[in-house]
Structure 1
Amino acid sequence: MLSRDTVQLLDFVKRAFNAHEISRLYNEDSSVGHAEVRIGDSIVMMFDAIEARPETPGFFRLYVKDGDAVYEQALSEGTLL
C-alpha cells in the first residue's frame, strides 16, 4: 500500500484494526521504505510514496470474525484525510 504518510497510517491501522506492527524500515531520507502489519491472519505491506509517482488507489480485503465490530472500531478512529 502506497501512502503519503506511512507513519500516520501505521498508527491508524493499529488503533482502527488492532494491527500488530511486524517491521518498519527507513530509507536514507527518513521516509518509510517498507513496513508490515498483521491484521488477523493477513499481512499488509506499506511504504511511503515518492513525489514522482502518481496517486495510486489501493483496495484490499480483510476477513475478520466480527466485521461489524471492526467496522465500528475503525469509524471511531476517524479518517486519515
Structure 2
Amino acid sequence: MSPYLICADGDEMITFVEQVFGGKLQRRFNRPDGSLMHAEVRIDDSILMIGGGATSAQQVAPHIHVYVPDACEVFDRAVAAGATIVQEPQRKRDDDDLRGGVQDASGTTWWIASQ
C-alpha cells in the first residue's frame, strides 16, 4: 500500500520529503505545460505517491504516521524545512512511542515516531 497525496504544489512536497525524510525521487510525470502530474518518492522501503496542481481530485488534509530511528532529529529537520509544529515529541503514559507532529505547507500532518 502506498499513500497518495494530492498537493497544490507537488514540487514543494517533493522537496519537503527529500529534506526531512531523505526521500529519493523515483519517477516523475509532467503535464504538457511542465507542471507535476504524478511523482513517486521512496522513503526507506516505502513509496509515497504525489499528485500536483490542476486536477479534478480534491486536496484533502491527510495525516501520515512514519516510524524513524530518531524522531527528535527528523522532527527538527521538518521544522527547519518550514513545517509548523502540531505537537512537540513526547511519550504518553499508555504508549511507549516517542511521537511528535508537524504540518507541512500543503496541509499534510506528519506524525513522526520512534519505538
Shift of 1:49: 4.3
What pairs up with 1:7-22 in 2 under 5 angstroms? 7-22=11-26
Distance 2:64 2:7 in 1: 14
Q: Which residues of structure 1 form unaligned runs of 5+?
A: none
Q: Which runs of 4+ in 1 moved over 4 A?
A: none
Aligned residues: 81
Q: CA RMSD in A?
A: 1.9
Which has the larger share of strand? 2
TM-score by length of 2: 0.60
Q: Which residues of structure 2 form unaligned runs of 5+?
A: 84-104, 107-115
Which has the larger share of helix? 1
Q: Which has the larger radius of gyration?
A: 2
- Higher RCO (CA-CA < 8 Å; seq separation 6+): 1
1:71 to 65, 68, 75: 75
* Percent identical residues: 28
Contact 1:40–1:64 under 8 Å retained in 2: no
TM-score by length of 1: 0.81
